[in-house]
Structure 1
């Protein structure tokens, strides 16, 4: 073996070592990139969740209409808005109404904390309902108001 062969063997050894280092570096780089990608996806999901929670808190803090029926005496009830928002153009749907039902024919406005009288009584084979359906501006689906039992 002469000097040229030794240099060739050393060069081959160095090349194999450099190739090994390059392959290992590439694998490590790929693992790092994958971890970075997973981290970015997790951050996006966390941000979306935070935004959703913030939206829910904001919606919960917004004033709402909170209607309830209360029995006053005999066939007289009252519709009370316990919420802070105003129920504008409020109406009771015809379905489920008792035979005798007195409430303004025109839509009414019921501010937060206020109430209006309502008279209803079953008659002619049409009993008192267990609930009434109400709608108002901004309320897409009718809201069920439970009719309380008569007291006294």
Structure 2
């Protein structure tokens, strides 16, 4: 081996080392970009969750008052507009007072059950036509 080729071999070695370092840096930057994308998606999901949680909601609940007497309460933060029982449940309930056109947050209506004791009553209201199953507490 001649001394003139030593610098050339050193240059080849240095180039190979530079190539390895570049490849490692590329892999690390890809990992960092992937982590950044996951972090951004997590932040977007959290923002959507908080946005939905902050929206006013109707939350109907039934509590037992006494022998066959129950109370329907809107425990949510939004009014239930034109609340209605599902057609099959209408005959099961006798309201002590009319439900009316709006059941405001915190408002309640007292009712009795006619004969049978269902495990739940089904309600819908304007703006939420999907039926909501509200559990009826058992007697006793």
The TM-score normalised by the length of structure 2 is 0.79
Distance in 2 (CA, whole Å) between partners of 1:28 and 1:60 is: 48
Task: Tell me whether 108-117 or 68-77 shows the greater mean CA deviation.
Answer: 68-77
Which residue is 2:94 aligned to?
102
SS at match of 2:4: helix
Give 2:83's aligned residue.
90
Distance in 2 between the 1:82 and 1:23 partners? 70
* Pair 1:129 & 2:118 matched: yes
Across the two proteins, how many residue pairs are aligned to each other? Answer: 139
Measure how far apart 1:63 and its partner are. 2.4
Greater than 6 Å deviation, 4+ residue runs: 104-107
Point out where structure 1 has 5 or more consecutive residues left out of the alignment: 1-5
Evaluate the alpha carbon distance shift between residue 76 and residue 83 of structure 1 in structure 2; reply closer, same or farther with a 3 A threshold.
same
Q: 1:33 to 1:100 in 2, by over 3 A?
A: closer
The separation in 2 between residues aligned to 1:102 and 1:111, in whole angstroms, is: 20
Q: Give the distance between the partners of 2:127 and 2:24, measured in 1 at CA.
A: 52
Kindly state the Cα deviation for residue 74 of structure 1 after the two structures are TM-superposed.
Answer: 4.9
Cα offset for 1:34?
0.8
Structure with greater strand percent: 2
Counterpart secondary structure, 1:112? coil
Equivalent runs, 1:65-80 vs 2, <5 Å: 65-80=58-73
1:91–1:108: 8 Å Cα contact kept in structure 2?
Answer: no
Residue among 126, 139, 145 paired with 2:134: 145
Q: Distance in 2 between matches of 1:98 and 1:92?
A: 6
Measured on the aligned residues, the alpha-carbon RMSD in Å equals 2.9
Deviations 1:98-142, CA, capped at 9 Å, x for gaps: 7443359998321111122334211xxxx2211111122443642
Task: Give me the TM-score of the superposition, normalised by structure 1.
Answer: 0.74
Q: Which residue of 2 aligns with 1:3?
A: none
Residue of structure 2 equivalent to 1:17: 10
User: Contact 1:69–1:148 (CA<8 Å) still a contact in 2?
Assistant: yes
